Amino acid sequence: MALQSKQIFVNLPVKDLNKSIDFFTALGYEFNPQFTDQNAACLVIGENIYAMLLVEEFFQSFTNKPVTDTAQSTEVIVALSAESREQVDEIVNKAHEAGAKPAKDPVDHGFMYSWSFIDLDGHLWEYVYMDEAAISQQ
């Protein structure tokens, strides 16, 4: 039997927790108050999908390695599915309006469309729409 997890928690270090909360709220996300305090905020991405935004000093307590300098390197690309091309554009445009930096121009493969941005702490987020009908025809 293959190993299967019931939930995913992606842990990301942030410099200013309140600014990060405001940023993701502007994109339309909500936070679970049960797992949110002065050190961490639980960003609800989807059913059983969460990002724990951890103040850098608190994040550091979970590892013996240094926190990645996101101005110099990328530690992770958080790729999330969208329901349509329009939703991809809507989310990325909202992110830019809320202070995100452009990462790459949109990529259109016909059956798949993606666009990405860099959040306030340098983390790379990519939103992807895949046309399931077009995939099944290939």
3-state SS string for 85-133: HHHHHHHHHHHHHCCCEEEEEEEECCCEEEEEEECCCCCEEEEEEECHH
pLDDT, mean of residues 50-61: 97
Bridge partner residues of 101 (DSSP): 118
Residue 47, pLDDT above cutoff 80: yes
Residue 38, pLDDT above cutoff 90: yes
CA distances from 43 to 26, 38, 51, 103 (A): 12, 14, 5, 21
Average pLDDT over all residues of the chain: 94
- Mention every residue, 6+ apart, whose C-beta is less than 8 A from residue 38: 17, 55
Q: In order of start, what are the domains of the chain with their CATH numbers?
A: 8-136 (3.10.180.10)
Residue 134, pLDDT above cutoff 90: no
pLDDT, mean of residues 97-125: 97
Q: Which of 22-26, 80-84, 133-137 has the lowest mean pLDDT?
A: 133-137
pLDDT at 3: 84
pLDDT, mean of residues 10-24: 98
- Report how far residue 138's alpha carbon sits from residue 121's, in angstroms, rounded to the nearest whole number: 39
Residue 135, pLDDT above cutoff 80: no
Decide: helix, strand or coil at residue 123: coil
Decide: helix, strand or coil at residue 136: helix
CA-nearest of 17, 58, 13 to 41 is 17
pLDDT at 137: 61
Decide: helix, strand or coil at residue 65: coil
- The reply to whether the predicted model has a pTM over 0.75 is yes
Decide: helix, strand or coil at residue 29: coil
